[in-house]
Amino acid sequence: MAMGANITTRIATAVTVVVGVTSIVFVLIHLVPGDPVEVMLGEYASSADRAELRTMLGLDRPLLEQWLRFVGGVMRFDFGISFHTGRPVSELLGTHFAMTLLLAGAALMVAITIGLPLGVIAALNAGRGWDTAASLLAVLGMSVPNFVLGPFLIIVFAVKLNWLPIGGANGLAALVLPAITLGVSLAALLARMVRAALADVLTEPFVTAARARGLTEFTVIVGHACRNAALPVITVIGLQLGALLGGAVITEIVFGWPGLGQLAVESIHRRDYPVLQGCVLMISLSYVFVNTLTDFAYTMIDPRIELD
Amino acid sequence: MALSIRIALGILLAWLALAAFSPFVSSDPDEIDLAGILVGPSTIALMGHDDLGRSVATRITAGAGVSFAIAFAVVTCACLIGTAVGLYSGWKGGIIDLLIVRVMDVFLAFPGILLAIALAGILGPGIGNVVIALTVVGWVGFARLARAQTLSVKHRDHVSIAVALGTSPPRIVMRHILPLIAAPIIVEITFGLAGVIVAEAGLSFLGLGIQPPTASWGSMIRDGTRYMLMAPHLVIMPGCALMSVVVALSLIGDRLRDHWQIDRL
């Protein structure tokens, strides 16, 4: 019963947020200094051309009608026409979104393979050298911006050692450096969370009880402690998956990875506002989607938790 | 005090001093030395020269000034607006609170820097627009924090007594609530400064922030990425400068949070 009510309120919240996000993105195009039509066509366009474009974009309609049209379009996955290519924005979004998802997924794998062991090692050696080293690494990892780490990695692994390509999206090798760049800060955050959660769990009576029953240290830690420490960690992974999508924007620019972020920044430089709107919407809506999903997963893993 | 905190404070104070005094002491950051184009660090120029023959060290100190000025401006605006909204929302409660929370939810639904990129891109580059874009993104964190803290404090006895004594609400909020929630807000300011410094550099890296010839760490890294093969110091130097400030600020923030025993991730 409580579960059902939870789901309804959570979905209702998500829907309001989605409408809000869509409205803010809609407002963006009206923030363009001066007349967007003038910006798009340049100073020398004839007034007939301007009027035609204005009608085509629906900019001559009342604001409320424009907004309703925009929201209606978004619901049908219709984000308008790109000024630059003249093709539907949704086509562009489809191909680039897949690339961003691939990058974010790979970064998540990187984060888990680095972050989990680092956190476990730190927790098992709490207060000792390994712990200090791991926590320093974590601070470094969380502080290094993508646009600093990316070029550093390129200098070392692409320019000096020549092991991996500098950028682009040809083959799996090209995915390695961007994935590491994007994944490191999440790895650092995960290591911190795992350390805190596991250190807490290790003081619980059931761990002592498991040891007293003569179980091997490996079974105690992996089978008993880690399972109980998993919940906060899963939440962090879920919530940060959305942050990965945001961080992907800059990483994609560093490596020339043809994802949504690169498309967004290119569309800013080309003043291709419908494409920009589409990219921002796409990324934000996936963020909302993942967060809502994480909330559900959270209650399913641990039924003691109720969402408010 | 732990050694790491002393080092962090030292680094931060050194950067602040460099940023504050460099305009009076150091040479012009736009000065060109043609013989030095793309030359790496040496005894003559500690950090080498960039692609136009400008001193990297001088430009980094000039960039520090720009970076700190923007960070202080944004965090001040975001903190004032956010704290005021959060206090008001938490104190008022009811339908107003609900509405404000929904608005905050919407802003929080944009991942990190994305909204700032879109805003800066649409408003056009320039220092003023960077401050606007980052404030629009940054106020929510303060608002959410101030609201949550206000809710936890407003039912304490001393507040109820102040209400019973007929103290005016603005006075209660300013004198009896704000001092109690100041500690977490100061921690948030520390992390906020680090966040804004990174975000400004990020926008400038994308070409949406500080415009040439003004020195900025982000645009220096951006320009440097074109010469990574022959002059990696153009990326490494400003990158390390940025890292040192951000790591120092995070260490200080962590330390303050532990000191005041605020449990938030």
Q: What are the chain B neighbours of A17 within 8 Å (beta carbons)?
A: 102, 105-106, 109
The pTM assigned to this predicted structure is 0.86
Structure letter (DSSP) for residue A305: -
The three-class DSSP label of residue B35 is helix
CA distance A161 to chain B (A): 12
pLDDT of residue B192: 93
On the question of pLDDT at A228 being above 70, the answer is: yes
Q: Is A155 in CB contact (< 8 Å) with chain B?
A: yes
Main-chain dihedrals φ then ψ at residue B54, nearest 5 degrees = -90, 150
Who contacts A247 (Cβ-Cβ below 8 Å, separation ≥6)?
A146, A182, A185, B111, B112, B113
In the chain, the amino acid numbered B234 is: L
CA dist A42 and A51 (Å) reads: 14
A266-307 pLDDT, tens per residue? 888 887 888 888 888 888 888 888 888 877 777 776 666 555
Q: Nearest Cβ partner of A17 from B109, B119, B208?
A: B109
pLDDT category of residue A129 using cuts at 50, 70 and 90: confident
| Smallest CA–CA distance from B198 into chain A, residue | A145
pLDDT of residue A288: 85
Q: Nearest Cβ partner of A249 from B102, B113, B222?
A: B113
Subunit contact B114:A273, Cβ cutoff 8 A: no
Q: What is the dihedral of CA B12, B16, B17, B21, to 10 degrees?
A: 160
CA distance B249 to chain A (A): 9
pLDDT of residue B4: 81
Percentage of the residues of chain A whose pLDDT score is greater than 70: 92
On the question of pLDDT at A53 being above 80, the answer is: no
Q: Is A280 in CB contact (< 8 Å) with chain B?
A: yes
| Smallest CA–CA distance from A278 into chain B, residue | B118
B241-257 pLDDT, tens per residue? 999 999 999 889 888 88
Show contacts of A217-221: CB within 8 Å, 24+ apart. A221/A120, A221/A124
* Ramachandran category for residue A168: left, alpha or beta (phi over 0 → left; psi -120 to 50 → alpha): left
- CA-wise closest residue to B113 among A25, A244, A247, A143: A247
Identity of the highest mean pLDDT range in A36-45, A70-79, B42-51, B159-168: B159-168
The three-class DSSP label of residue B32 is strand
A contact test, residue of B5, B117, B219, B247 with most A CBs within 10 A:
B117
Residue pairs spanning A and B at CB distance below 8 A: 138
CA dist B63 and B30 (Å) reads: 12
Q: What is the pLDDT along chain B (265 residues), one digit of tens a residue?
A: 678 888 889 989 988 888 888 777 667 777 777 666 777 677 666 777 777 767 777 888 888 888 999 999 999 999 999 999 999 999 988 899 999 998 898 888 887 788 888 888 888 888 888 999 999 999 999 999 999 999 888 888 998 899 899 888 889 988 899 999 999 999 999 999 999 999 999 999 988 888 888 888 888 888 888 888 788 888 888 889 999 999 999 889 888 888 887 654 3
